[in-house]
Structure 1
Amino acid sequence: MSLVELGRYDRNLANILVGRLESEGIPAVAFDQDASIADGSWLLIPVRVMVDADDLEQARRIVGAA
């Protein structure tokens, strides 16, 4: 398994996309969602949504349709 970046999104959208992808059978992970939470800037840092390289094209289609 080789993780690749699907895209960078705000924290809430990233978690919605992870749920949507997983509901379609594509494992996904949100990276960096807890970055800088201590200083209050967590809303400004985009969250990376990561998927397996083999699932990238299908994940792009699902996100594009959403």
Structure 2
Amino acid sequence: MSLVELGRFARNEAHMVVGMLGGQGIDAIAFDGEASIGEGSWFLIPVRVMVDDTDLDQARALLPE
């Protein structure tokens, strides 16, 4: 198992993507979601959505274009 980046999203969108993927049976995790929260710039930093490398193609196919 190796995590790979599916994409970078706005904070709220990243968490919606993680939930949508979970509903389809694909484990995903959001990285960097709390980055810079102390200084107030946390909405400006993209959140990385990570999936297992074996799920990457299926996860990409589920994302809207």
Shorter-chain TM band: over 0.9
Measure the CA separation in 2 of the matches of 1:43 and 1:64. 22
| RMSD of equivalent CA atoms | 0.9
Runs of 4+ in 1 over 3 A off after TM superposition: none
Unmatched runs of 5 consecutive residues or more in structure 1: none
How many equivalent residue pairs?
Answer: 65
Q: What TM-score does the superposition give when structure 1 sets the normalisation length?
A: 0.96
Percent identical pairs in the alignment equals 62
* Counterpart residue number, 1:47: 47
In 1, Cα distance between equivalents of 2:64 and 2:54:
17
TM (norm. structure 2) is 0.97
